[in-house]
């Protein structure tokens, strides 16, 4: 099944939106396969945002990502990359459609709550960048087995 990376940026952590954002993905039906808090550093951001290195405000974008710990999360599901990107909304929070995460929680281009991998190829590279193999979990997703103990049904 397809996996993608999301990062809850400092703008999510500092505004106490971790739970709300993760809940949207859980309710949609995406499976959380890995999750941890990290303090990002310049080196990993140089890789992660290499496509922005030419921008005059590259350092400001990196500083914003280092301003507080972030939550990195692996989500799994059919077409997970496409589904998660569409739930995130376009980059600029002021342009993002209502109902998307950026559309509902962000007024900013930079402070836009969430990173989401933009292709299947990028997702594989980004998951390797932020997670060790043993930090990604393949597990059955079967809530019925956890509503009751075996001797209760």
Nearer to ligand IDP, 50 or 137 (CB): 50
- Least distance from ligand IDP to the Cβ atom of residue 54, Å: 11
Closest-approach residue to Mg ion (CB): 118
Whose tokens are 């505004």? That residue is: 15
Binding segment for Mg ion (CB under 5 A), chosen from 9-17, 80-88, 103-111, 116-124, is 116-124
**Residue 104 interaction partner, one of Mg ion, ligand IDP, none, beta carbon < 5-8 Å per kind:** none
By beta-carbon proximity to ligand IDP, the closer residue of 31 and 112 is: 112
Going along the chain, which residue ranges are E strands? 3-8, 31-38, 70-76, 114-116
Q: Are 123 and 5 in contact (CB under 8 A)?
A: yes
Q: Go through 14-35 and write b for each residue having 16 or more CB atoms within 10 A of its CB, e for each that does not.
A: eeebbeebbebbeeeebbbbbb
Handedness of CA 130, 132, 135, 138 (dihedral sign): positive
Find which of ligand IDP, Mg ion, none residue 44 binds, CB within 5 to 8 Å per kind: none
Q: Is 51 a catalytic residue?
A: no
**Size of site (CB under 5 A) for Mg ion:** 1
Residue 123 makes CB contacts below 8 A (sequence gap 6+) with: 2, 3, 4, 5, 80, 81, 117
Residue 97 binding partner per list Mg ion, ligand IDP, none, with a CB distance cut-off of 5 to 8 Å that depends on partner kind: none
Contacting positions for ligand IDP (CB under 6 A): 52, 57, 61, 91, 109-110, 112, 115, 118
């Amino acid at each position: 099944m397809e996996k993608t990376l999301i990062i809850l940026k400092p703008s999510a952590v500092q505004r106490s939106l971790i739970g709300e954002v993760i809940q949207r993905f859980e309710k949609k039906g995406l499976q959380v396969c890995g999750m941890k808090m990290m303090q990002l550093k310049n080196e990993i951001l140089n890789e992660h945002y290499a496509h922005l290195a030419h921008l005059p405000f590259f350092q400001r974008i990196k500083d914003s990502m280092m301003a507080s710990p972030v939550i990195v999360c692996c989500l799994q599901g059919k077409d997970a990359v496409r589904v998660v990107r569409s739930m995130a909304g376009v980059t600029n929070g002021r342009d993002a459609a209502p109902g998307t995460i950026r559309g509902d929680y962000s007024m900013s281009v930079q402070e836009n709550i969430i990173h989401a991998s933009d292709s299947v190829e990028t997702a594989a590279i980004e998951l390797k960048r932020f997670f060790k193999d043993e930090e990604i979990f393949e597990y059955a997703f079967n809530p019925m087995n956890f509503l009751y103990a075996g001797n209760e049904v």
